[in-house]
Amino acid sequence: MNAFANALTQLKKAIQLGGLSAETWEFLSKPQRIINHSLPVRMDDGSLRMFESYRVQYNNACGPYKGGIRFHPKVDLSEVKALAFWMSIKCAVVGIPMGGGKGGVVVDPKKLSVTELERLSRAYAAMFAPYIGPDKDVPAPDVYTTPQIMAWMMDEYNKVTGTEAPGMITGKPLAVGGSQGRGTATAQGGFYVLSEVVKKLKLVLGKTTVAIQGFGNAGSVMAGLVQKAGYKVVAVSDSSAGIYNPKGLVLKEVEKYKQSTGKLTGFPGAQTITNEKLLELPVDVLVPAALENQITEKNVGRIKAKVVLELANGPTTPEADEKLFKKGIVLVPDVLANAGGVTVSYFEWVQNLANYYWTEKEVFQKLERIIVDSFNEVWQMAQSKKTDLRTAAFIVAVGRISEAMRARSWIN
């Protein structure tokens, strides 16, 4: 499935239902700039390898481009374009003054040594330095990239440009200008959204069951937050398999087991299941927190959850979206559910520019207000247009981007 084609399907639906102009479609159906480089990296054995890399700058009507850089063997241009587009929507949904961009390198970082990974990270920053910066395009971590990688990139960018610009990238370690709360912000924002959905649907907290696909940073933190709040986490999974216990999992034990064995498979007192089967469990809340295209036309009929909360980017295809809505399943889209990450990235950028830093409590207070207000605005739009939450979020976001483009006289 073509991720970018899915993104355009979502855009077209929102423009039609929201009564937005044909010029808005014409402008937003294509990225403003695509940059493609081959990165030369000297490996530890002395050999030279070239790594294909991308940066897509989708739209900057609302402010500088903003979006992560992923290191993954299956990165391709269609995926990066889609992710850059979704970042434009995501920033506009929560009303932060930034546009959308995304980067990627075709690589399996697990096969690189630490020194090779550093050389690759620095090569990316050096090659893309003319196109990025605090007032142009502000990258961040994504799949298989880390705060340490962001620090290497910032250091290399500063060397190449002769500046000291911590605001050129976000998701950095605290020691070099990172923000309190950034590491858990995606899950924290998702948790605030889930709390609002539970209120709207009048679900009973202590009896609400949750399954989470993906036990990386966002998924594992989300699991901890919901369990602490009183939800019953019955299933989690990593890239290889999942575990399920309808009576609930003790997450501290799961984390210990994962750390000691490197996997979830075989966890005592739980049934080992596939990632595909986890999606189909009879739970109240399903949280896809892995990769895109997980809920499709093929398996949507077997989804039993009352709520699907997308912590991953693009885990549901447009065809599946339609069917979930018809089944009465509430799907909270990625552009709202996982916007906590980009919101706190924006906070980090603001703190870097001001050289004034906030406490974690201050960060989360600001985040909660933005996320809750954004959710309620999207919920009201969905009710007024009698549509799903994704389309409502897109109508809100595209409306804001369209207004900014009109103010700049890019469109009539």
The residues carrying an active-site annotation are 102
Q: What is the DSSP letter of 133?
A: B
- State the first-to-last Cα distance of the chain, in angstroms, to the nearest integer: 34
Q: How is 310-364 classified by DSSP, letter by letter?
A: --SSS-B-HHHHHHHHHTT-EEE-HHHHTTHHHHHHHHHHHHHHHT----HHHHH
Burial of residue 385 (number of CB atoms within 10 Å: 0-12, 13-18, 19+):
middle
Report yes or no: 215 and 222 within 8 Å, Cβ to Cβ. Answer: no
> In residues, how long is the chain?
412
Q: In the beta sheet, which residues pair with residue 331?
A: 308
Q: What distance in Å separates the CA atoms of residue 345 and residue 260, rounded to the nearest whole number?
A: 32
Q: In the beta sheet, which residues pair with residue 106?
A: 72
Q: Which regions of 255-329 does DSSP assign to beta strands (E)?
A: 271-273, 285-288, 307-309
Q: What is the DSSP letter of 76?
A: -
Edge to edge, the sheet with strand 100-106 lists 33-42, 48-59, 100-106, 65-72, 137-141
Helix H or strand E segment including 210: strand 209-213
Q: What distance in Å separates the CA atoms of residue 253 and residue 95, rounded to the nearest whole number?
A: 39
Q: How many CB atoms lie within 10 A of CB 239?
A: 12
Beta-carbon contacts of 223 under 8 Å, excluding residues fewer than 6 positions away, are 210, 212, 215, 233, 236, 251
Q: What distance in Å separates the CA atoms of residue 27 and residue 115, rounded to the nearest whole number?
A: 42
Beta-carbon contacts of 273 under 8 Å, excluding residues fewer than 6 positions away, are 235, 237, 241, 242, 243, 244, 281
Helix H or strand E segment including 200: helix 185-201
